[in-house]
Amino acid sequence: MNHQTDQAENGVMTLPQCANADGQLPSCAPLANPYVPFQQTGADLYTASCALIRGTLFPGLDLPYGGQENTQEKLATASVELQQMGFALQELALYLDTHAEDTEAAQLFNQYVELYQQAIEQYQQGNGPLTLMDAAANGTYDWLAGPWPWEYRKER
């Protein structure tokens, strides 16, 4: 008994004939195989400053919850610069984890590594050490000086 043929004869709908182990939507996809679309290579990217505000480097993954969009521009402080470069680097690393063969993305990753290192140097001049590696770079142990990252500071 062919259910799909019956439907066609009744004029309800016409569906393609698939193997027993296949289903519909998409056409004749194997049964019981859920999938998530794989991110394509060479897609457009946001700038690092835009990415930090949007929460993603990839316009294709920019899906604001309930249509609520963060549009608050950040001031150009050494701290924000560090966060922007760090976030772009993080986003590219996660992308490259599953797209290691994308040499263009790898080159961009290297450019952001350089920009991140420059941002660290700028940041450390006014804000103290970022990691223990630089904690005593000035000859004294400056690691403990606040404010610590979770503490409220008035300035932006």
Partner 1 sequence: MFVYEKKLQYPVRIQNVNPQLAAIVISQYGGPDGELGASLRYLSQRYSMPYDALKGLLTDIGTEELGHLEMVGSIVHQLTRTLTEEQMKEQGFAPYFVDHTAGVYPQAASGTPWSAATMAVTGDPMADLVEDMAADATTM
- Smallest gap from residue 121 Cβ to partner 1 (A): 14
Tell me whether residue 9 or residue 136 sits nearer to partner 1 (CB atom): 136
Minimal distance, residue 138 CB to partner 1, in Å: 15
What are 57's two structure tokens? 């480097």
Q: Shortest Cβ distance from residue 49 to partner 1 (Å)?
A: 13
Nearer to partner 1, 23 or 128 (CB): 128
Orientation of helix 78-98 relative to helix 103-127, angle to 10°: 150
Give residues in contact with partner 1 (CB under 8 A). Answer: 34, 36, 52, 63, 65, 74, 79-80, 82-83, 86-87, 90, 93-94, 97-98, 100, 123, 128-133, 143, 148-154, 156
- Residue closer to partner 1 by CB (options 6, 121) is 121
* Rounded least distance, CB 145 to partner 1, Å: 10
CB atoms within 10 A of CB 129: 19
Nearer to partner 1, 25 or 132 (CB): 132
CA 124 to chain CA centroid, Å, is: 26
Q: How far apart are CA 81 and CA 84, in angstroms?
A: 5
Q: Token pair 């043929």 is at which residue?
A: 5
- DSSP letter for 22, please: B
Cβ burial of 57 (10 Å; 0-12, 13-18, 19+) is buried
